């Protein structure tokens, strides 16, 4: 018997996705298609009878607006919402806001692929005088300077996300709560690596669609009962 549910979802298509940018902590909104993806995901969860105890997202508007669309379609706008910088996308350092094809032309496809999918390879860091340095953003004003990333690998992103999983999400699931978590591709890789006990190589190869709920159902002992995508195209597909 299912004890609790965790729904992980990458935000709807963003303007950065649409323009093929390294987006990271660059706070771009959803594209028109992304707004509709988010609404469609909410309608799909409502049609399957999903009820949640709380909702979580990052500090970036593409996840916040995706969450709002989902909760509106679910008729659960009253749910407690928790926003955390630990659920922010990987910080792409000096690459943030730049077009991926331009970076490939400058550095070569192999180097760019290492930055994107290498487990412990960090892109060039952003300087503290850059507008992309988080220390200039008031939403991160309470964080210790040492916690502010200048660029992250998948490995350091996992290290940042892990305390949120251990101290916030997992205890709520163990208490029998069902959670909706709207976040980003790299953060989903970090969370799935914990849930599925993946190796670094397996984690790097995960490809995650936008706007598609990934459902984890748990037994009373906290073990995963099953995990599957909820979508018209991928309904029931195991992960």
Which of 65, 89, 132, 152 is the catalytic position? 89
SS3 of 62, please?
helix
13 in a labelled binding site: yes
Which of 3, 11, 132, 184 is the catalytic position? 11
Respond yes or no: is residue 11 known to be catalytic: yes
116 in a labelled binding site: yes
92 in a labelled binding site: yes
205 in a labelled binding site: no
Respond yes or no: is residue 128 known to be catalytic: no
The Cα–Cα gap between 168 and 61 comes to 21
100 in a labelled binding site: yes
* Residues in Cβ contact with 12 at an 8 Å cutoff, skipping those fewer than 6 apart: 30, 31, 33, 34, 35, 36, 37, 38, 41, 62, 65, 66, 69, 210, 211
180 in a labelled binding site: no
44 in a labelled binding site: no
90 in a labelled binding site: yes
CA-to-CA dists, residue 139 to 58, 92, 143, 174, angstroms? 11, 18, 9, 30
The Cα–Cα gap between 8 and 194 comes to 13
Binding site: residue ranges? 10-17, 23-24, 62, 89-92, 100, 116-117
Catalytic residues: 11, 89
Binding site for substrate: residue ranges? 10-17, 23-24, 62, 89-92, 100, 116-117
């Amino acid at each position: 018997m299912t004890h609790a549910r965790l729904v992980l979802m990458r935000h709807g298509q963003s303007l950065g996705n649409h323009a093929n940018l390294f987006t990271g902590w660059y706070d771009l909104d959803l594209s028109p298609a992304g707004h509709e993806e988010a609404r469609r995901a909410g309608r799909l969860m409502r049609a399957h009878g999903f009820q949640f105890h709380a909702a979580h997202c990052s500090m970036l508007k593409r996840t916040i607006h995706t969450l709002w669309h989902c909760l509106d379609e679910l008729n659960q706008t009253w749910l407690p919402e928790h926003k955390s910088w630990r659920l922010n996308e990987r910080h792409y350092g000096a690459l943030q806001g730049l077009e991926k094809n331009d970076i490939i032309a400058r550095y070569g496809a192999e180097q760019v692929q290492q930055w994107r999918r290498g487990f412990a390879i960090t892109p060039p860091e952003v300087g503290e005088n850059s507008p992309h340095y988080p220390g200039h953003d008031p939403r991160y004003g309470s964080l210790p300077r040492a916690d502010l990333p200048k660029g992250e690998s998948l490995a350091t992103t996992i290290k940042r996300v892990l305390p949120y999983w251990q101290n916030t999400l997992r205890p709520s699931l163990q208490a029998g709560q069902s959670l909706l978590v709207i976040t980003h591709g790299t953060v989903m890789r970090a969370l799935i690596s914990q849930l599925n006990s993946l190796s670094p190589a397996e984690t790097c190869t995960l490809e995650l669609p936008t706007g598609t709920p990934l459902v984890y159902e748990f037994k009373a002992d906290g073990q995963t009962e099953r995990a599957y995508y909820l979508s018209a195209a991928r309904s029931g597909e195991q992960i």
